[in-house]
Amino acid sequence: MTDINATTTGSASLGVAGAAEHPAVTAQGAALSVRHLVKQYDNASAPVLNDISFDVPAGQVFVILGPSGSGKSTLLRTIAGLEPIQGGEITMGGELLRQAQSAGKLRSASASDSTKVGMVFQSYDLFPNKTVLGNIMLAPVLVQKRDKASVQAEALRLLERVGLADRKDAWPHELSGGQRQRVAICRALIEHPQVMLFDEVTAALDPEMVREVLDVILELANSGQTMLIVTHEMAFARAVADHVVLLANGSIVEESDHPQEFFDHPHTERAQQFLATFTYDRGQRQS
């Protein structure tokens, strides 16, 4: 099963407050627990994710930052079951969710998966052949075999919550990017997933639409939804995060339970370097 060395130190964190406790923390009380996760593509020389371990307690907003190619999206995709993993395991509520498979095969999705993770992608992924309501209602009716009338009532409540009740009969192509992402959030939420995954959901949006989507996620965070967020919106990350992780080259470089402190005074050089790319100094402009 796990072909990686079990004696590795669990977390690749570099002596940051909170991170050192990792190996001692058990999966109990954690909504999601990732242990020694290794993800490597067949013909790649180095793993995309190299021995990643962390816990996400129920209700926590877990924000993952990092440069392009650091493995952030891949990390979410392994949790969502979209990528086979080559080592380690992922558990949810103490129950095994994913583990290394022989021959790198993914098992097919099943109805029980639907209540575990919900995911919203960067690219607009609403089903173009369904209306807004059709998109939201399809999975609970088809996969979870729930009663159509109650599903519809809940779908309308969710649309109300994200401010799109009047668009329930619209087709995806009639919506703006921000509206599509809000519908995609409803579509995931209606299955009552234990953990929500957001993979750069605002990266393809016009600046003015970013806000409407992030406000929905913020409201969701306040409602106690456990979630993992990959984002490049630093101001948003700072506002929403309970826990911040910086990924680089497939490893956790730094993490913190104090987002404000992380953003203002990162400990590692890599984090300082990364955060510096988001700030501009007027002094750089030659007068």
CB 175 within 8 A of CB 183: yes
Burial category of 234 from C-beta neighbours within 10 Å (exposed 0-12, middle 13-18, buried 19 and up): middle
Q: Are strands 243-248 and 61-65 parallel, antiparallel or unpaired?
A: parallel
**55 contacts other proteins (rule: CB under 8 A):** no
| Among the listed residues 187, 201, 202, 244, the single contact to other proteins using CB under 8 A | 187
- In whole angstroms, how close is the CB of 51 to other proteins at the nearest point? 25
Tokens of 160: 């109300």
| Among the listed residues 80, 159, 195, 205, the single contact to other proteins using CB under 8 A | 80
**191 contacts other proteins (rule: CB under 8 A):** yes
**200 contacts other proteins (rule: CB under 8 A):** no
Of residues 127 through 166, those in contact with other proteins by CB under 8 A are 127-129, 138-139, 142-144
**234 contacts other proteins (rule: CB under 8 A):** no
**188 contacts other proteins (rule: CB under 8 A):** yes
Cβ closest to other proteins, residue 28 vs residue 110: 110
Residue 243, phi then psi, degrees to nearest 5: -145, 135
CA distance 127 to 148: 19
- In whole angstroms, how close is the CB of 84 to other proteins at the nearest point? 13
Binding mask 93-132 for other proteins (x = CB under 8 A): ---------------xxxxxxxx-xxx-x-x-x-xxx---
- In whole angstroms, how close is the CB of 117 to other proteins at the nearest point? 6
Interaction site with other proteins (CB under 8 A): 80-82, 108-115, 117-119, 121, 123, 125, 127-129, 138-139, 142-144, 171-173, 184, 187-188, 191
